[in-house]
């Protein structure tokens, strides 16, 4: 049952993790994150020039045996690209939980959610300003929605950049599309597929606490302009380096849906403690030829 439920997005995420973690590390990943707020955009680009991806991935696994049997896993990642004109950000988040009924021995899925998002920021000017394109797709088995997708575009800027803190803001209009599960009963004349306009606001705050510890606060708000549901997603996390690129992450995630399906709650929260792997590396910069030394 568990193997069958691991869908394509999770397999792709796992393959991406293996692919990008193979090369040698150009810089200490946590040292890079520590200095991120101290560097200008040109310095950040120069630091990661020639690297295909950098960022971090996390994985958590819980297996219970005995009076209660259950299996749960969590896979999540934040990946970045920083080129001359574009700064790209990719996210993936997978959660799966399976419980075994004590009386019948049947395995029942109690949680299954997959989320992926992509954002590209086209750099303009010299003050960390950009125009962005954003898209996401969410499949939450127990939300009453078969899927929810969002597309937005707009303006991004760095509100603050200091020695220990950076605060980035994105704001712009967009569209949302969702489909209600076939199992959910709808009123006559109500379509299962709904689409409408929205305004998207996103804030990312990163603070350097020490050389080995950083704090992150990410908040995104999608305010519907068409009378549909509005969404809020917030993650508060603390990451501490343990050994090399391996770290420990404690996070609190808050999700809000203003108009949930019947018998569903508006608020969904999650507390997690996972191992996190930060890396910096990728494809070689072939624009700079490797010097050849000929010895006599």
The per-residue pLDDT for range 177-202, each reduced to its tens digit, is 998 887 777 777 778 888 999 999 99
The percentage of residues in the chain with a pLDDT greater than 90, rounded to a whole number, is: 34
**Nearest C-alpha neighbor of 81 from the set 280, 292, 287:** 280
**DSSP assignment letter at 283:** S
For residue 284, how far is the Cα from the chain centroid? 25
Q: What is the pLDDT of residue 62?
A: 76
Tell me which of 66 and 57 has the higher pLDDT. 57
* pLDDT above 50 (res 43): yes
For residue 189, how far is the Cα from the chain centroid? 36
CA distance 76 to 93: 4
Angle at 85 between CA 84 and CA 89, to 5 degrees: 95
**Nearest C-alpha neighbor of 113 from the set 89, 147, 70, 136:** 147
Mean pLDDT of 47-70: 74
The residue assigned the tokens 């991406």 is: 16
* pLDDT above 90 (res 284): no
Give Cβ neighbours of residue 8 (< 8 Å, ≥ 6 apart): none
CA distance 265 to 259: 9
* pLDDT above 90 (res 8): no
User: Quick one: tokens of 252?
Assistant: 């609190």
CA distance 36 to 54: 13
Tell me which of 222 and 48 has the higher pLDDT. 222
User: Lowest-confidence range among 64-68, 89-93, 115-119, 196-200?
Assistant: 64-68
Q: Report yes or no: 95 and 74 within 8 Å, Cβ to Cβ.
A: yes
pLDDT band for position 10 (cuts 50, 70, 90) = very low
Q: What is the pLDDT of residue 108?
A: 83
Mean pLDDT of 255-272: 87
Q: Report yes or no: 241 and 30 within 8 Å, Cβ to Cβ.
A: yes
Q: What is the pLDDT of residue 30?
A: 44
Summarised one tens digit per residue, pLDDT across range 227-251 is: 888 999 999 999 998 887 889 999 9
CA distance 73 to 10: 11
């Amino acid at each position: 049952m568990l193997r069958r439920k691991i869908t394509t997005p999770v397999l792709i995420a796992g393959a991406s993790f293996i692919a990008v973690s193979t090369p040698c590390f150009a810089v200490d990943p946590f040292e890079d994150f520590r200095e991120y707020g101290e560097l200008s955009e040109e310095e950040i680009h120069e630091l990661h020039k020639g690297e295909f991806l950098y960022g971090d991935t996390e994985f958590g696994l819980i297996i219970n045996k005995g009076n209660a049997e259950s299996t749960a896993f969590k896979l999540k990642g934040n990946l970045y690209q920083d080129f001359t004109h574009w700064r790209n950000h990719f996210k993936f988040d997978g959660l799966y939980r399976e419980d075994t009924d004590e009386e019948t021995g049947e395995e029942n899925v109690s949680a299954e959610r997959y989320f992926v998002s992509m954002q590209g920021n086209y750099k303009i000017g010299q003050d960390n300003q950009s125009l962005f394109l954003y898209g996401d797709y969410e499949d939450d088995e127990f939300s009453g929605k078969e899927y929810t997708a969002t597309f937005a575009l707009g303006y991004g800027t760095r509100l603050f950049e200091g020695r220990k803190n950076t605060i980035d803001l994105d704001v712009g209009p967009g569209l949302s599309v969702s489909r209600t599960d076939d199992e959910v009963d709808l009123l006559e004349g109500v379509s299962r597929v709904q689409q409408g306009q929205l305004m998207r606001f996103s804030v990312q705050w990163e603070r350097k606490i020490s050389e080995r510890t950083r704090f992150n606060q990410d908040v995104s708000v999608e305010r519907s302009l068409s009378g549909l549901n509005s969404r809020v997603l917030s993650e508060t996390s603390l990451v501490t380096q343990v050994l090399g690129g391996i770290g420990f992450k404690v996070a609190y995630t808050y999700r809000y849906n203003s108009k949930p399906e019947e018998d569903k709650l508006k608020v969904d929260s999650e507390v997690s403690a996972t191992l996190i792997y930060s890396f910096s590396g990728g494809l070689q910069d072939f624009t700079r030829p490797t010097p050849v030394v000929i010895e006599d």
